[in-house]
Amino acid sequence: MAKQEWKPGNMLYPLPAVMVSVADKDGNYNIITVAWTATVCTNPPMLSISVRPERYSYHMIKETGEFVVNLTTESLAYATDYCGVRSGKDVDKFKEMKLTPEVAKKVKAPLIKESPVNIECKVREVLELGSHHMFLAEVVAVHVDESYMNEKGKFELSKAKPIVYSHGEYYGIGKLLGTFGYSVRKKETGRKKSRKKKKK
């Protein structure tokens, strides 16, 4: 298979497309869509978002040191794109997209009610890397929509139909291919399988 060599660039795709809600010191809200986001640590729980300094939300985050990451879904795809291309200087994104701000527990930035998962964050460090500045933040609270909890108490995000971003395009998530560790998990022998069938 032949391959082309391109100049260095960001080709780490797909990525989660998240809506980050913020508030300034006066209590004004805004939403910015971010694809440059990542998990960076388990203990303490930390994540990162990278934002261009010229973006309207950047100074809100820099001033308050707080934000909320809201996971997105197929039903929120239009709002996700809108909040990434329109500026909060010009429009009230909550109002225009009919999104509902909810009071967070640990930060002043609001949650987006329609999102299945809201992650409250407090900035611990800002890395000025170049075109984007990375906000390294500690997760201080997480909220999940109870409608996606199954009878065993497991949260099933897949039922919310999350979306990802890949090189300028939004996609839904495909079928389940495996679970963590399935490549090394011992397969059941034919005899064990037949016993289970008889028990049923």
The matching CATH number, chosen from 3.40.50.720, 3.40.50.300, 2.30.110.10, 3.90.330.10, for 15-199 is 2.30.110.10
Q: To which residue do tokens 């996609």 refer?
A: 171
DSSP 11-40: ----EE-EEEEEE-TT--EEEEEE--EEEE
Output the six-digit token pair for 110: 């609001």
Distance CA 163, CA 15 (A): 9
**Average pLDDT of the residues of the chain:** 93
Band of pLDDT at residue 190, cut at 50, 70 and 90: low
Phi, psi of 199 (to 5 degrees): -65, -35
Domain edges within the chain: 15-199
Could you read off the pLDDT of 139-167 as tens digits, one per residue? Answer: 999 999 999 999 999 999 999 999 999 99
Distance CA 59, CA 98 (A): 24
Contact 138, 106 (CB under 8 A): no
Residue 121 has pLDDT above 70, yes or no: yes
Residue 197 has pLDDT above 90, yes or no: no
Q: In the chain, pLDDT over 70 holds for what percent of residues?
A: 94
